[in-house]
Amino acid sequence: MEKFDYIICGGGASGLLLSNAFISDKFFNDKKILIIEKESKTTNDKTFGFWNDKESVLDEMVFKEWEFAEFKDSNSYNTFLLNPYKYKMIKSNQFYSHIGNKILKAANFKYLNSNINEIDEINNIVKTDDGEFSSSIIFSSIYNEVNFKKYPLLKQHFIGWTIETKSETFDDNKITFMDFSVDQKDEIRFMYILPFSKNKALVEYTLFSKELISDNEYEKEIKSYLKENNIQGYTIKEKEKGMIPMTCYPFFENNTDTYFQIGTAGGWSKPSTGYTIKNSIKKIDVVVESLKHNKPLSKIRFKNRFWYYDLLFLDVLIASKGKGSQVFSDLFKNNDPIKIFKFLDENTSVVEELSIFLSVDIKTFVRSLLKRILNFSI
């Protein structure tokens, strides 16, 4: 049985970013590393969006960036300059290719296209269609169903079309961050638009809800939205589909010093928004530093005051019974949008956070807080 220092199970975003971190740091040059992924990862199957006010490892893969954003609801809209941030977008096929090429050139890496049948966490063995492999530490992005119990859970799910129009249709300097003008249907529903040029854009229909809907319903809503906005004569170039669990469940409690969950499987998605890729880099930095200083991985805890904010925010969205869009509207109408992006980045001060809470229906948040305290469930 071939032995490795690290095995990375899953070659999606988190697995590749972790690999990239190892390749970029000389400390890991003598570590023997295996990454296992069942899919070829050559198609543009998803879009990674994020905002940033500083350079990061992601910049070398960015397809397009924007300086302006727009927030809409049924009564108003707000266009704003993102400065000091820029909203950036990466195509997944470019992401896979860029880091994949680095892995192929790294002498201490082995990449295996194979199906993972079992991860033996006790004996540190990964069983695949192409054999069994052992490792000192296993990192896994394979999502396992858990009992969420006292932790709220919403599913962020979506279908997006990349469309091309015959005439100039889009303002390619501005994204539509959230458009809540669509029928909410007693849930939280919005459109998200990334224009690549004046006649090409990703148009995505997104829901925050407990249950999924049929593919036909997503696509029906996209068609309706395009028609209502007089966007006609378009060709669908690509489609993407996804689901992200929005939860504060402490996945990190399942980690040991030799088995560590990463990505969505490790709870690396921001619970209140579902944004994952930049959040993953922050988490990977912690993992890398722990490995370099021989600190136990089981002691890593991704839990701060923003975790509690996210917990209450999810409680409020679930209790809103279809009126959750009003919470987002209040946030963007009653605050400088840049402060909201800073808050979602977990970079605000307590004073700034207090002003944000006071800008929304504070009674709803207080009720959720009291309910949590009375039930001893935080």
Q: What is the pLDDT along the chain (378 residues), one digit of tens a residue?
A: 999 999 999 999 999 999 999 999 999 999 999 999 999 888 898 999 999 999 999 999 999 999 999 999 988 899 999 999 999 999 999 999 999 999 999 999 999 999 999 999 999 999 999 999 999 999 999 988 888 888 899 999 999 999 999 999 999 999 999 999 999 999 999 999 999 999 999 999 999 999 999 999 999 999 999 999 999 999 999 999 999 999 999 999 999 999 999 999 999 999 999 999 999 999 999 999 999 999 999 999 999 999 999 999 999 998 887 788 999 999 999 999 999 999 999 999 999 999 999 999 877 788 778 877 766 554
- Asked whether the beta carbons of 215 and 157 are under 8 A apart, the reply is no
Write down how long the chain is: 378
Q: Which two three-digit tokens encode residue 32? A: 């023997």
Domain made up of 2-46+89-147+251-299: CATH architecture: 3-Layer(bba) Sandwich (3.50)
Task: Classify 273 as helix, strand or coil.
Answer: coil
User: ω into residue 84 within 30 of 0, thus cis?
Assistant: yes
Which ranges constitute the DSSP H helices of 48-142? Answer: 92-105
What is the phi/psi pair of residue 203, to 5°? Answer: -120, 115
Q: Which two three-digit tokens encode residue 310? A: 């996210």
**From the centroid of its chain, how far is CA 378?**
24
Give me the residue label for tokens 């009674």: 363
Q: 305: which residues sit within 8 A by CB, 6+ positions away? A: 350
Which of 286, 253, 283 has its CA nearest to residue 270?
Answer: 283
Q: 230: which residues sit within 8 A by CB, 6+ positions away? A: none
- What is the rounded CA–CA span in Å between residue 301 and residue 84? 30
Among left, alpha and beta (phi > 0; psi -120 to 50; other), residue 274 is left
- What is the rounded CA–CA span in Å between residue 311 and residue 37? 32
| Residue/partner pairs of 144-148 with CB below 8 Å, 24 or more apart | 144/265, 146/249, 146/251, 146/254, 148/247, 148/249
- Asked whether the beta carbons of 208 and 246 are under 8 A apart, the reply is yes
pLDDT at site 375: 63
Strands 234-247 and 116-120: unpaired
